[in-house]
């Protein structure tokens, strides 16, 4: 899909208008959304993520996990509409991958 192409906005940004429901699957809205890089099922990375959620005292019913392939972009506005989270936890994902142009305080909560 070629929506818009210029020196400032490249064709790569077209991914931010593509459908993201395949990333969400059958997830229902939950208060916490975790967006992380993709990992193999049963890998040490997945075990580490589960331990992090347990340390935060979160149950499976309280969070959704969306996994992106390295460098993959996904439209934040669509993820927000589909999953309606109150808290978003980015692990290894840059805000620019979600089409967000903002500076965030590192390792601190942001509004």
Longest dimension (CA), the chain: 46
Output the pLDDT for position 23: 86
Output the pLDDT for position 82: 92
Helix (H) or strand (E) holding 33: strand 32-37
Output the pLDDT for position 100: 82
All residue ranges of the chain with pLDDT < 50 are: none
25-44 pLDDT, tens per residue?
Answer: 889 999 999 999 988 888 99
Please answer whether residues 33 and 87 qualify as being in contact, where contact means their C-beta atoms are separated by less than 8 angstroms. Answer: yes
Please answer whether residues 33 and 88 qualify as being in contact, where contact means their C-beta atoms are separated by less than 8 angstroms. Answer: yes
Is the model's pTM score more than 0.75?
yes
**What distance in Å separates the CA atoms of residue 96 and residue 98, rounded to the nearest whole number?**
5
**What distance in Å separates the CA atoms of residue 52 and residue 46, rounded to the nearest whole number?**
10
Output the pLDDT for position 39: 83
Please answer whether residues 86 and 32 qualify as being in contact, where contact means their C-beta atoms are separated by less than 8 angstroms. Answer: yes
Helix (H) or strand (E) holding 83: helix 76-83
**What distance in Å separates the CA atoms of residue 52 and residue 55, rounded to the nearest whole number?**
5
């Amino acid at each position: 899909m070629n929506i818009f192409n210029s020196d400032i906005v490249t064709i790569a940004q077209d991914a931010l208008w593509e459908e993201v429901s395949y990333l969400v699957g059958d997830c229902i809205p939950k208060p916490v959304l975790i967006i992380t890089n993709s990992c193999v099922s049963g890998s040490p990375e997945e075990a580490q993520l589960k331990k992090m959620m347990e340390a935060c005292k979160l149950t499976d019913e309280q969070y959704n996990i969306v996994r992106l392939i390295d460098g993959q972009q996904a439209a934040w506005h669509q993820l927000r509409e589909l999953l309606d989270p109150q808290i978003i936890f980015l692990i290894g994902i840059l805000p620019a991958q979600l089409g967000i142009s903002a500076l965030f305080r590192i390792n601190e909560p942001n509004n």
